[in-house]
Amino acid sequence: MAIAAPGQLNVSESPSWGSRSVDCFEKLEQIGEGTYGQVYMAREIRTGEIVALKKIRMDNEREGFPITAIREIKILKKLHHENVIKLKEIVTSPGPEKDEQGRPGKLYLIDIIDGNKYKGGIYMVFEYMDHDLTGLADRPGMRFSVPQIKCYMRQLLTGLHYCHVNQVLHRDIKGSNLLIDNEGNLKLADFGLARSFSSDHNGNLTNRVITLWYRPPELLLGSTKYGPAVDMWSVGCIFAELLHGKPIFPGKDEPEQLNKIFELCGAPDEVIWPGVSKIPWYNNFKPTRPLKRRLREVFRHFDRHALELLEKMLTLDPSQRISAKDALDAEYFWADPLPCDPKSLPKYESSHEFQTKKKRQQQRQHDDNAKRQKIQHQQQHARLPPIQQSGQGHAQMRPGPNPAMHGSQAQVVAGPSHHYAKPRGAAAGPNRYPQGGNPSGGYNHPSRGQGGGGYVSGPYPPQGRAPPYGSSGMPGPGPRGGNNSGYGVNAPNYPQGGPYGGPGAGRGSNMGGNRNQQYGWQQ
């Protein structure tokens, strides 16, 4: 976790910012568990207004206030748009000195960075949104209509266009960061990885941003000079996911992620992507055989205009990728059926990824218990011999429903004729995404052996910082670095099955790593 430099943030700039206590709010329930800490639905006691409280994780007191939180606060303070989440204020829990009237003192940055003298909790107060897109899509039986998809996509692009015009890259576009309210409004949230950019900025940016499944090829190939096109790739992934019903690039680690991208979008070369061979890790990951673009073939069932737009979003060369502004002008949004009015959308019971995940875990636990009980029951019965003809051996006896009627005779109850059904593993689940022709890869990978997918060996690209993948051949820590070192383990974890179910690792709790550890010092 990196610390903020003095003066980077003056949270007391607005009169009320940082001066109120979290006690002004009543926490109602937890709705999110992020890298920062918990997110709660809460009610402001005085007004009754429902808000979301995001607690800034300060576990590592020695290291101070997380830079991601500072970035998020700074950036959100300057963004004001109906498709960008509104940060209302910052509140604190006991810690700062009280003033003469006994009110908590104002929160000054120096309090929290100076050896982290500030011992209280810090919360960001946001307008409350009923859902995030992942939570909503994961509702059992959920199906989005075409006008609804157009409506969400248009809002996503409008919000992103606003960010880009204001020289902000979001760098973490994914379903759980797209919040939706019951009025059908969609807002971009979680600006913890966002940063300002300028077209004349010549410095290097970290390429370890954006959740793996939504990360564009230029970042996976090691580019450190990039712009708004990185967000547009993620938007393309979301768009395809909405149309397709599940994530299209559920890679377990970076090589597999690139593999999946190249299998669908073709392998890049100097013709389709001038300059690609100069990108740091291109030689390590270039496919060993030509791969044709198959997007149109794989998604031939998509609407013509949708496919046209998707093609432009999932363009390998970032300089040719469509911008948010141009995407909004695409025929897709102007052809029938038109995007619906957000207000006309159905209202759903609140659904956040955290909650749907929790419910699914509970359901899984319940199913496991039921399965275990059934197996125990079957095992008990299995100890009995097979069904016996009357008079043979040990038929299972129990009194009849009305023993008086049947006298001393007991009913013969058939023992189980079968014992264990074949378990329905994850592999049995639907996988509607057509498999690529080269499941094992066919890419050059510096350290992977067999099974990892045909990567040729070679040194890691010389880098000023740690190589992208660990020397063991395991992927290195990803932006969602949890307790595990692998990108794969910390890859976005969509659940198996369900409308968005995919073959990748589940969107598990290992998501909740501390991204500041990876990013704190980086640009």
Nearer to ligand ATP, 268 or 488 (CB): 488
**136: closest CA among 85, 184, 198, 82?**
184
Other beta carbons within 10 angstroms of residue 117's beta carbon come to: 13
Least spacing, CB of residue 38 vs ligand ATP, in Å: 8
Quick one: three-class SS letters along 439-458?
Answer: CCCCECCCCCCCCCCCCCCC
* Cβ pair 402, 432 in contact under 8 A: no
> Do the bridges between strand 87-92 and strand 20-21 make them parallel or antiparallel, or are there none, so unpaired?
parallel
C-beta nearest to ligand ATP: residue: 34
Q: Which two tokens stand for residue 80?
A: 């004001």
Beta 195-196 vs 186-188: how paired, if at all? unpaired
Q: Helix H segments across 277-433?
A: 282-285, 295-298, 304-313, 324-328, 353-382, 403-406
Token representation of residue 8: 């980077």
Closest-CA residue to 144 (of 354, 358, 340): 340
Which residues carry a binding-site annotation for ATP?
54
- Binding residues (CB under 6 A) for ligand ATP: these are 31-32, 34-36, 39, 52, 54, 85, 126-129, 132, 135, 176-177, 179, 189-190, 192, 352-354, 511
Please, which residue, 121 or 461, has the CB nearer to ligand ATP? 121
CB of 476 to ligand ATP, least distance (A): 19
Of the residues 130, 172, 190, 231, which is catalytic? 172
CA distance 16 to 9: 15
Exposure class string for 420-435: b at 16+ Cβ within 10 A, else e: eeeeeeeeeeeeebee
Query: Can 336 be counted among the known catalytic residues?
Result: no
The distance of closest approach from Cβ of residue 1 to ligand ATP in the complex, given in angstroms and rounded to an integer, is 13
Helix (H) or strand (E) holding 180: strand 178-180
Query: Of 179 and 276, which has the nearer Cβ to ligand ATP?
Result: 179
Residue 320 pairs in a beta bridge with none
Residue 15, number of CB atoms within 10 A of its CB: 9
- In this complex, which beta carbon is closest to ligand ATP, that of residue 187 or of residue 246? 187
Query: 453's torsion region: left (phi>0), alpha (psi -120 to 50) or beta?
Result: left
Q: At what angle do helices 304-313 and 229-244 cross, to 10 degrees?
A: 150
Nearer to ligand ATP, 442 or 502 (CB): 502
Range list of β-strands (E), 394-475: 396-399, 410-413
350 in Cβ contact with 130 (< 8 Å): yes
Dist. CA 299–CA 474, nearest whole Å: 32
Shortest distance (Å) from residue 108 CB to ligand ATP: 24
69 or 279: CB nearest ligand ATP:
69
Give the catalytic positions in this structure.
Answer: 172
